[in-house]
Amino acid sequence: MRRELDEELAQLNREMISMGSMCEQAIKLTEQSLIHETVQQAREVKPLQEQILQKEKHIESMCLRLLLLQQPMASDLREISAALKMVTDMFRIGEVAGDAADIILYMNRFHRIADIEELSEKAVSMVHQSVDAFVKQDLQLAKSVIAYDDVVDDLFLKVKKDLVQAIRSDADDAEDYVDLLMIAKYFEKIGDHAVSIAEWVVYSLTGVHKGEVEP
């Protein structure tokens, strides 16, 4: 029975990695549209978003089957419960990337903003590391993702300040700058979801979730 459970948990990890990779790809496609000033990559996000949804449903079914048919120990139970919570955040990441891609599809002009590209790259890194922390059961990595959120928040504030200044000095392109500000906000929000994933990793390893006092 234990061997069967371990095999299914290993499969769960593989599915989580797969879903995480899809989320990273969705963010990167959005970023690439901005970098290359084309809507081509942005058009690829919606189909990928549907794949992320299907993957979420599949993982949820796996977790429920594990809970109902196996006899998980307390630590296994936390791991499975955390995975159920994490896939919701991962689905939201796909949604947010889709929202950013939608904005790109209707932008009038492209404007290269290096800090937005950096914000996207940091968001991808946070998503990757949060899922990696779950698979490797790495508490320190999960905590580092949570701490890194301050870096992303500070970068977003810099992007916001620069774009507000651009709007004031270039009224003709103000609408495009507002669109870019929304996209930057979406990337910052992806970082928030990565933090939420990392917090569930901490719970799976310690039994303590954000805001709770460790017994």
Domain spans in the chain, listed from the N-terminal domain onward: 2-206
What is the reported pTM? 0.91
**Residue with the two structure tokens 């970082």:** 191
Residue 6: pLDDT band with limits 50, 70, 90: confident
Closest CA to 97 of 185, 177, 215: 185
Terminal CA-CA length for the chain: 31
- 62 pLDDT above the threshold of 90: yes
pLDDT tens, position by position, 88-133: 999 999 999 999 999 999 887 777 778 998 999 999 999 999 999 9
**Left, alpha or beta for 214 (phi > 0: left; psi -120 to 50: alpha)?**
beta
**How many angstroms separate the CA atoms of 194 and 186, rounded?**
12
Q: To which CATH superfamily is domain 2-206 assigned?
A: Phosphate transport system protein phou homolog 2; domain 2 (1.20.58.220)
